[in-house]
């Protein structure tokens, strides 16, 4: 699907593989991917 006009992905992506944002497919995947960029000290606890 194409990104909606005016979104970060539509405005800044050059392709599906080269874009300015990423969304994980689930909480477990997100936790693993966040560790690629941030240490535990960089993160604030969040609850819902």
Task: Encode pLDDT of 3-42 as tens digits.
Answer: 899 998 889 888 878 887 888 999 999 999 999 999 989 9
Extents of the domains making up the chain: 8-42
Measured distance CA(34)–CA(24) in Å, rounded:
10
The verdict on whether 25 is a catalytic residue reads no
**pTM above 0.75?**
no
Using alpha carbons, select from 22, 30, 14 the residue that is nearest to residue 43. 30
Catalytic residue among 22, 36, 40, 41: 22
* pLDDT in the model for residue 1: 63
Q: Is 23 helix (H, G, I), strand (E, B) or coil?
A: coil
């Amino acid at each position: 699907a194409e990104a909606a006009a005016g979104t970060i992905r539509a405005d800044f992506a050059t392709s599906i593989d080269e874009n300015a944002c990423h969304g994980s497919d689930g909480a477990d995947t997100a936790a693993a991917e966040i560790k690629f960029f941030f240490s535990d000290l960089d993160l604030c606890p969040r609850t819902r």
